[in-house]
Chain A
Amino acid sequence: MADGLRVYRLMVAAKIRSAWQYRTSFVMFLFAQATITSLEFVTILLLFDVVPDLGGWDRREVALLYGLATLPFAASDLIISPVERLSVHVRAGTFDRFLLRPASSLLQICAMEFELRRIGKLLPAVAVLWWAMAGVDVDWTPSSVGLLVLALTSGTVIYSALWIATASLSFWIVATQEATNAVTYGGQFANEYPLHLYPGWIRAVLGWIVPLAFVAYVPAVALLDAPNPLALPDDLVYASIPVAAATLVVSLRLWSLGIRHYQSTGS
């Protein structure tokens, strides 16, 4: 495990050194990613110019929800989303290389396709969360901060599992990146708004199928004293831990099944 992480670190460092040779492109992408993420939040702020609240939640409360959704997404986007390049490697046959080395194939692909410029999403997410934390009516005691850390951690795990699971599909089907992005990016977008705004079937999907409700909405309800029309119990936030663990286990299982399928088809 420690060895694996050291190999990962060295391979990521190698990728950053490689990317540094194309500095201009790096800086432009970093800027673009930061801008896009910021604009998403600006859109939400503009909504508040028209309406006083979103489902009873005010500006800062929605901002906290946004931060809780975006920060884990950006973190998983930086660390795990490189796995979506699997479809390219499977098609080009370059995935074989990862199977011929004594390191986890998942870890290798995440390191080989690492893009530091994705950090551009992380910065606005941190800024918004900070701004929201300063303004919401929450007493930031050790226990509420602990809750926040728990939410951010399990949120990152849930998003990561989603990336791994959706990427694994390309072991079976060709050209899935667009379809799977609908789940990951689409799910993230849905997560930026209070869950009770959505019709029942979307809530069911986000609660039970791709459990993204546990990333932001459930912890936000627990932390905030905001309207809770779904009457979710505050303690539901602790379910995020088993939910995150379960999604991770399922996704890793899917990955290893995918490798076995790859080995039998040689696609």
Chain B
Amino acid sequence: MIRRITENAAVSLNLGETPWPPKFPGGLEYSSPARGTWNIVHVGMLLPEAHLIFVCAEACLRGVVLTAAEMGAMDRFSMINIHENDITSGGMETLIIDGVGDILSRLEKKPRAVLLYTSCVHHFIGCDLPLVYKTLRENHPEVDIINCYMNPIMRKSGLTPDQLMRKQLYAGLKAAEHDPKKLIFVGNDFPTPEGELRELIGFAGFSVSEIQDFSDYDGYLSMGKAPAAIIFNEAAKPAGNELKRRLGIETIYLPYSWDYAEIRAGYEKLAGYLGVHVPDYSSLEAECEAAAARALRLIGDTPVAIDYTLTYKPVGLAYFLASRGFNVKRIYGDGYSKEEQASYEKLSEIRPDIELWPTVNVMMRKTDRAETDYLALGQKAAYFLGTDRFVNIVENDGLYGFGGIIRLMALMEDAYKTPKDTKKLVQIKGWGCGGCL
């Protein structure tokens, strides 16, 4: 049976009339079927030779165990299921210590590391987690026990679950003699593609690695030899701070950006560290302009919508496109990074008519999903609009710098020309990290 609620929702804000930062009313929250963004299981699985153990109630475990199952990674995933009496009895510490011991004894191959995820419950009952970790490390000295968290109730208190996960992913790195010619990329879900960034690093005689390069734990540990980490993703800044505090690894923050000046500024900063002159990127800028012009010739005045799952900087991307003549009409997102403020203000000047739409507001359940003429940049936009022409990438997908802009323009052309099976694609969890669906 197919049935839809057909009343039109009216929960959008008009960009020109909405001062920074735009805010939607709070309240109950809705979860759309577009599921391609990564969660803490997908990110944790990036750690080679690690085993993930979650200690939570059944309702919380269900989502993470089926994430692992859909990834085909059940051999790297285990659980300790909390019952009511564990909360009231005061035996939580023992349950975790004995539970982890039981799980490790039953694995066919002992992992090099365990990512041990505790949850909201542990925070609230005052579980002595330092004791738990200390005991586990004493009991299992051959395994790196890394504390991780699934405590969404804390999402507005301190670091978000996303920031915490990106930080703890590198908690296994140990102090090592720094190799001055080595760099690491930190905090990205997707591998960093070849392009002008890697060329600059190579030109300066440096090597660079990232977690996705390694299939073994020793390889991962070798990242500790780098004296500096390049971070693109704002959510990975706490990871950088922690690497600096623990291991003296400097952060070179080159923010994801759709703005030439900001990209160039990033490369100038990096070149300064590398001790080389920054190359002249004017030809690459020209290539970006040519790619954008080519895409615009094809796409014309087709309405375009962008959502926050495609890029960490949807407003910046909207400005890039709108300022080159694309008919950007909507941006979907529930909150925006402070780094977007300048783009927001510039966009407001040239396209005050752009609509800002939330994704979790309850009225989004009532969108009619019939705006099929749109070209959507991102899964959530594609779902809400009901369009089959969309760019199907998540979490910026390695789109960095000038090369990233050129690639996105090509993806837009392809999306415009080749309709996709929206229903099938957007429901796949953790797009791009493998899976059996």
Chain B associates with chain A: no
